[in-house]
């Protein structure tokens, strides 16, 4: 039965037309949005891909952090929370390593107190007891940095890389790419991880006076020197700043983050979306482990798909040997690796940038009376200063490039100090321009 017309909605012809017009307007807006999205995808430039190569500890990761700080500062500083855990691990492991190296039979008195000399300041035996909680801090931070934070925590694969170098020391590292950066997203962290991080900060804060006392004691440093234990510059930096770094309310500075040590294992892909120049552009960096067993074989798959290669050499390593082969000098190893990269036909047309890094540490060693010619005989009787040694590096590596490259190509060479942000900003801007010009010439943009 048909309802009475009086029950029908009171809709006029004008209302119907208005509704149709409104619906058409919405439909047109949706179509426009789809078209804009399609055009944006078509106009979006492909990401720039850069391969970071070089031996271990040449400064590849520090270079990457500098690039991140310079061109995507908001994103860089957003990761400060994650870097705090890494820095605290660096500090805790430094202290534990020092205490382990002081635990030798001829430095411990019958009363189980460590006196390195008669006029030693603090009682290191007592400091060892009071600093013992840092053992648990090291274990806890290892676990926090090696779990998948948004899933079920897993057992850490291995301990963090020893950031202090001494003869016979084994080497281990954090694996798992950049999963540790999930620590920067505190809102997604499991409550147990949050609680553990808070606990480690409390312990470090309670121990910071004792850490300062240990590190400031001349007798401790004298004993380490006698044992031939060499501290990396990043370790010394955090120990020198222990009172600030171990504070409960500590927030890492850009300089702190640049000096933090997190060794690359395998291949790590880093994506950086530009925030300053060329905002919105994406750069992809492949940071590849530089140990001898993970070199050309693991690098080759990336040779065919990158726009540029940045090769780093540490000029300060000329007086050191490889951890896994004491007979091989690090300088000779870097040079051999450089020749291998130059002669590879897969990258014969790929722009290559050579950064002769750690000029500051080289200067320190030369000023301390360490003679470059003692380890590199071919240097001869040239002046033992930064200018002469860096020129030798540049001349030698440029000649090897010209000799071993399958095709003629321009080589960009620069002497750098990766922890000097102002100097590196100029270098990185030039590196960026060199890469973009090379891509334009090769129609890769």
Q: What is the pLDDT of residue 418?
A: 79
Percent of the chain with pLDDT over 70: 74
Q: What is the three-class DSSP state of 50?
A: strand
Q: What is the pLDDT of residue 167?
A: 37
List of residues 6+ apart from 147 with CB closer than 8 A: 153, 154, 156, 179, 193
Q: Looking at beta carbons, which pairs linking 382-391 to residues 24 or more positions away fall under 8 Å?
A: 386/359, 386/362, 389/315, 389/362, 390/315, 390/356, 390/359, 390/362, 390/415
Q: What is the pTM of this model?
A: 0.75
Q: What is the pLDDT of residue 155?
A: 32
Q: How buried is residue 374: exposed, middle or buried, by Cβ count under 10 Å (0-12/13-18/19+)? A: exposed
Q: d(Cα 51, Cα 431) in Å, to the nearest integer? A: 13
Q: What is the three-class DSSP state of 250?
A: coil
Q: Kindly write down the DSSP assignment for every residue of 280-317, as one continuous string.
A: T-EEEEEEE--SGGGSHHHHHHHHTT-SEEEEEEEGGG
Residues 315-324: pLDDT tens digits? 999 999 887 7
Task: Dihedral sign for Cα 193, 194, 199, 205, please.
Answer: positive
Dihedral angle of Cα 73, 78, 84, 90, to the nearest 10 degrees:
-50
pLDDT-based confidence at residue 43 (cuts at 50, 70, 90)? low
Residue 231: in which H helix or E strand, if any?
strand 230-231
Q: What is the pLDDT of residue 154?
A: 32
**To which residue do tokens 């993970």 refer?**
294
Dihedral pair phi/psi, residue 288, rounded to 5°: -115, 135
pLDDT-based confidence at residue 380 (cuts at 50, 70, 90)? very high
| Range from 139-143, 151-155, 305-309 carrying the lowest mean pLDDT | 151-155
Reading the block at residue 130, the tokens are 């009071």
Residue 164: in which H helix or E strand, if any?
strand 164-165
Q: What is the pLDDT of residue 391?
A: 96
Reading the block at residue 418, the tokens are 């990766």
Residue 445 has pLDDT above 50, yes or no: no
pLDDT-based confidence at residue 12 (cuts at 50, 70, 90)? low
Domains and CATH numbers, the chain: 48-72+274-441 (3.40.50.300), 80-259 (no CATH)
Residues 318-377: pLDDT tens digits? 999 887 788 889 999 999 999 988 998 888 888 899 999 999 999 999 999 999 999 999
Q: What is the pLDDT of residue 256?
A: 94
Dihedral pair phi/psi, residue 433, rounded to 5°: -65, -40
Q: What is the pLDDT of residue 318?
A: 94
Of residues 46 and 123, the one with the higher pLDDT is 46
Q: d(Cα 46, Cα 44) in Å, to the nearest integer? A: 6
Residues 271-290: pLDDT tens digits? 899 898 778 889 899 887 76
Q: What is the pLDDT of residue 257?
A: 93
Number of C-alpha atoms within 13 angstroms, CB side, residue 298? 17
For 49-57, what is the mean pLDDT? 88
List of residues 6+ apart from 392 with CB closer than 8 A: 372, 376, 379, 382
Residues 180-196: pLDDT tens digits? 666 666 556 677 888 88
Reading the block at residue 442, the tokens are 């090769």
């Amino acid at each position: 039965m048909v309802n009475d017309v009086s029950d029908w909605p009171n809709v006029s012809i004008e209302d119907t037309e208005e509704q149709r017009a409104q619906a058409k307007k919405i439909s047109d807006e949706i179509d426009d949005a789809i078209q804009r999205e399609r055009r944006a995808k078509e106009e979006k430039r492909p990401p720039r891909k850069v391969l970071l190569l070089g031996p271990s500890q040449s400064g590849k990761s520090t270079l990457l952090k500098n690039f991140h700080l310079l061109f995507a500062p908001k994103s860089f500083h957003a990761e400060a929370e994650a870097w705090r855990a890494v820095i605290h691990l660096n500090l805790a492991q430094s202290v534990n390593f020092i205490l382990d190296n002081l635990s030798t039979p001829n430095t411990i008195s019958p009363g189980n107190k460590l006196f390195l000399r008669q006029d030693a300041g603090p009682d290191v035996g007592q400091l060892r007891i009071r600093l013992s909680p840092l053992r648990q801090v090291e274990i806890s931070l290892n676990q926090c940095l090696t779990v998948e934070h948004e899933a079920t925590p897993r057992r850490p694969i291995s301990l963090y890389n020893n950031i202090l170098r001494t003869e016979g020391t084994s080497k281990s590292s954090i694996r798992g790419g950049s999963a540790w950066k999930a620590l920067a997203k505190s809102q997604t962290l499991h409550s147990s991880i949050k609680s553990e991080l808070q606990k480690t900060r409390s312990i470090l804060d309670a121990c910071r006076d004792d850490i300062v006392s240990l590190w400031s004691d001349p007798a401790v440093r004298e004993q380490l020197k006698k044992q031939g234990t060499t501290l990396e510059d990043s370790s010394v930096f955090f120990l020198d700043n222990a009172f600030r770094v171990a504070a409960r309310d500590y927030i890492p500075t850009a300089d702190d983050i640049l000096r933090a040590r997190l060794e690359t294992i395998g291949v790590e892909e880093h994506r950086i979306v530009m925030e300053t120049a060329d905002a919105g552009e994406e750069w992809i960096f492949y940071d590849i482990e530089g140990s001898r067993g993970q070199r050309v074989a693991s690098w080759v798959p990336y040779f065919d798909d990158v726009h540029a290669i940045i090769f780093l050499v540490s000029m300060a390593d000329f007086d050191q040997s490889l951890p896994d082969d004491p007979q091989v000098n690090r300088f000779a190893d870097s040079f051999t690796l450089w020749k291998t990269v130059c002669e590879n036909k897969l990258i014969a047309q790929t722009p290559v940038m050579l950064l002769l890094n750690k000029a500051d540490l080289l200067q320190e060693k030369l000023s301390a009376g360490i003679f470059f010619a003692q380890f590199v005989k071919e240097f001869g009787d040239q002046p033992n200063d930064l200018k002469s040694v860096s020129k030798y590096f540049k001349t030698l590596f440029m000649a090897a490039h010209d000799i071993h490259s399958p095709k003629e190509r321009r080589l960009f060479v620069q002497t750098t100090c990766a922890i000097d942000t102002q100097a590196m900003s100029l270098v990185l801007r030039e590196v960026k321009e060199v890469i973009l010009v090379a891509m334009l010439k090769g129609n890769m943009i």
